[in-house]
Amino acid sequence: MESNQVKEKYNKKAKSFDTMMAPMELMGMKKWRKALVAKAQGLVLEAGVGTGANLPYYPAGIKVVAVDFSSKMLDIAEVKVASSKAEIELKLADIQELPFEDDTFDTVITACVFCSVPDALQGFKELRRVTKATGNLYLLEHVRSENAALGKMMDWLNPLTVKHSGVNINRRTEATMETAGLEIKQIDKLFGDIVKLIHATPGK
């Protein structure tokens, strides 16, 4: 699916997005978000900030540049900026073509983003480009299960989820990260082998 098509889907569901996600937040996402952003240090890029669900959990003393390609999602995120202890700058930008210089950020954060990036490989290359050689990337992502039956079911359902929501449920995210040049340091399985917290470095 093309970027403009995915963007339009997120613009349309921006107002109802937090309500749709509320059950997931209660089932574990809130806890996982807190663990994710606790790792942020220095100058932080949150790529795909959406409606800003992570913003209230960032610690004090850091600056976060939070980008998304959906202007309507950013409108919702703007309301949450005041609840963050960190310094937050929201910016309209596409992960696949980031408007930042090479080696800009100390930490990169994403949360359930790369299921929706049309060209995930290009997105990871861009994150690698803008991360300092000494920097770290922390990704909370859902991926394709390696269980034979469940994986095949996710493959079968994927065209439907892409068509209706722009979300891919069968991406092999770790392999794509490595193809982009990122070095995976640690993977914590949070919900079976479907939801993972991935720590990587830019491998420069």
Residue with tokens 């995976």: 184
Domains of the chain: which residue ranges? 3-201
Q: How many alpha carbons fall within 13 Å on the CB side of residue 190? A: 20
> Within a 10 A sphere around the Cβ of 137, how many other Cβ atoms?
26
Kindly give the confidence (pLDDT) of every residue in the chain, 204 residues in length, as a single tens digit, with 9 standing for 90 and above.
578 888 888 999 889 988 988 888 888 899 999 999 999 999 999 999 999 999 999 999 999 999 999 999 999 999 999 999 999 999 999 999 999 999 999 999 999 999 999 999 999 999 999 999 999 999 999 999 999 999 999 999 999 999 888 899 999 999 999 999 999 999 999 999 999 999 999 998
CATH topology for 3-201 is Rossmann fold (3.40.50)
Sign of the Cα torsion 23, 115, 137, 40 reads: negative
What is the model's pTM? 0.93
Helix (H, G, I), strand (E, B) or coil at 190: strand
d(CA 203, CA 201): 6
